Amino acid sequence: MHDPAELRTLHLERFHAEPAVFAAPGRVNLIGEHTDYAEGFVMPAAINFATLAGISPNTSGKIAIYSENYREERSFDAAALPVKPSGHWSDYPMGVAHVLAGEGHRIPGFSLSLWGDVPLGSGLSSSAAVEVATALAVESLIGTSYPGPVLARLCQRAENQFVGASSGIMDQFISIHGQENHALLLDCRDLSSKLAPIPDEVALVIANTMVKHSVAGGDYPTRRREAEAACAVIARHRPEVKFLRDATLADLERWGHEMEPKSLMRARHIVSENLRTVAAADALLRGDLEELGRLMAEAHWSYSRDFEASCVEADAMVELAADLPGLIGARLTGGGFGGCTVNLVEQTEAETFAQKLGERYTARMGIVPEIHICHASGGAHRVA
């Protein structure tokens, strides 16, 4: 995480006012991909990359937002917030302001500085980190404090309704509720969750394929639509099936022939992924790392072959990790079509693993990857 003291200095120099500073982490998902919007299960962990937000009130009636990452400032009229996105980085913080205004809050003028080290477009939820950090900052200004799950929904709404990305609840939820050294099994239906400790001997090695990923792009919503079409077919026979969370592999056997072949494949991934995710949480809780690794590998190939959300580079990153000493499990993490793989690796082997994986990937793909040895971190908070 960047140094909050530096953000404070930066804010003071630019806006001449003392900021309150908040931090919200990115996340890595261990297993459970494209299951959240199907009201299924996910098992992410917050990571030690975060967005910092510094906020101070002003009397100009303007919302001034500065991003240190983009080295750019934008200004808006607080009394007439934009109602539409502009395809700009400021859509994420302004989406949050828009949603809070929609909840009946009067949004006053403020100055906001943002600075994050969550790699952008890498499937590690840099957008959720910006939304959650902004939400905490604005909350402090207007004197509200929503319960975590409600705040997560509001941030998701900023992304769905303002930014225009049809993402689920996972990223915002874990950015708020992450716990040091734990993954979290989240039931995306009722937002109940269970913490699963990540043993000290296990490192989270995150390997960036350097292929850009975007939830707002076309592939994510296409997959979602294809999966929902499969659900609609099952619902014709079993009206109690509202989401793929409610469907079984037997339903797919029985009515799969009525579905478009691609829809059937997408649904097979989601239905089997829900089973794997719950089983993976069980395995982690009872310390069966071998089983966890096996489930992660199965999840990767289901994501790649049935969901067709991987890419040559991510498949290579997973394959090249498979026989490296210390590997417990590897798979593509996040929304897909690029981004990062998550590797659970024995702590004592993590450095060598990272180095070898990098060399192998460069030799095969001609791309130098960024590989980070991370740990599961706490959720969003005010920085003292």
Q: How far is the CB of 127 from ligand GLA (least distance, A)?
A: 8
Nearer to ligand GLA by Cβ, of 37 and 115: the residue is 37
Stretch that binds ligand GLA, among 30-38, 103-111, 131-139, 278-286 (CB under 6 A): 30-38
- Per CB under 6 A, does 167 bind ligand GLA? yes
Q: How far is the CB of 177 from ligand GLA (least distance, A)?
A: 14
Contact 314, 332 (CB under 8 A): yes
Cα 97 to Cα 82, 137, 382, distances in angstroms:
10, 10, 18
- Per CB under 6 A, does 34 bind ligand GLA? yes
Q: Write out the H or E segment, with its range, that includes residue 169.
A: none
Contact 272, 302 (CB under 8 A): yes
Structure tokens that stand for 33 in this block:
């991909």
Number of Cβ atoms within 10 Å of the Cβ of 166: 14
Q: How far is the CB of 359 from ligand GLA (least distance, A)?
A: 29
d(Cα 73, Cα 65) in Å, to the nearest integer?
6
Q: What is the DSSP letter of 199?
A: P
Strands (E), 211-363: 327-332, 340-346
Stretch that binds ligand GLA, among 102-110, 162-170, 287-295, 314-322 (CB under 6 A): 162-170
d(Cα 99, Cα 2) in Å, to the nearest integer?
27
Stretch that binds ligand GLA, among 26-34, 71-79, 240-248, 299-307 (CB under 6 A): 26-34
Number of Cβ atoms within 10 Å of the Cβ of 248: 15
- Per CB under 6 A, does 26 bind ligand GLA? no
Q: How far is the CB of 220 from ligand GLA (least distance, A)?
A: 7
- Per CB under 6 A, does 39 bind ligand GLA? no
Q: How far is the CB of 237 from ligand GLA (least distance, A)?
A: 26
d(Cα 11, Cα 212) in Å, to the nearest integer?
30
Catalytic pick among 3, 91, 117, 171: 171
Q: Name which position in 170, 205, 241, 340 contacts ligand GLA (CB under 6 A).
A: 170
**Of 254, 248, 336, 265, which is closest to residue 302 (Cα–Cα)?**
265
Burial (CB count <10 Å: 0-12, 13-18, 19+), residue 274: buried
- Per CB under 6 A, does 335 bind ligand GLA? yes
- Of residues 107 through 146, those in contact with ligand GLA by CB under 6 A are 125
Burial (CB count <10 Å: 0-12, 13-18, 19+), residue 80: exposed
- Of residues 221 through 240, those in contact with ligand GLA by CB under 6 A are none
Lay out the site mask for ligand GLA across 294-333 (x = CB under 6 A, - = otherwise): ----------------------------------------
Nearer to ligand GLA by Cβ, of 95 and 335: the residue is 335
Structure tokens that stand for 84 in this block:
């539409």
Stretch that binds ligand GLA, among 31-39, 85-93, 143-151, 348-356 (CB under 6 A): 31-39
Binding-site size for ligand GLA (CB under 6 A) equals 13
Q: Name which position in 25, 256, 334, 379 contacts ligand GLA (CB under 6 A).
A: 334
Token look-up 């990272």 returns 354
d(Cα 246, Cα 54) in Å, to the nearest integer?
42
Nearer to ligand GLA by Cβ, of 29 and 304: the residue is 29
d(Cα 41, Cα 23) in Å, to the nearest integer?
26
Q: How far is the CB of 339 from ligand GLA (least distance, A)?
A: 9
Cα 90 to Cα 97, 158, 281, distances in angstroms:
11, 12, 36
Whether 246 is a known active-site residue: answer no
Nearer to ligand GLA by Cβ, of 218 and 366: the residue is 218
Structure tokens that stand for 198 in this block:
């990540």
Nearer to ligand GLA by Cβ, of 60 and 192: the residue is 192
Q: How far is the CB of 282 from ligand GLA (least distance, A)?
A: 20
**Of 229, 267, 222, which is closest to residue 249 (Cα–Cα)?**
267
Q: Write out the H or E segment, with its range, that includes residue 99.
A: helix 91-102
Stretch that binds ligand GLA, among 94-102, 165-173, 194-202, 287-295 (CB under 6 A): 165-173
Question: Catalytic residue numbers?
Answer: 171
Contacts to ligand GLA by CB under 6 A: 29, 33-34, 36-37, 125, 167-168, 170-171, 215, 334-335
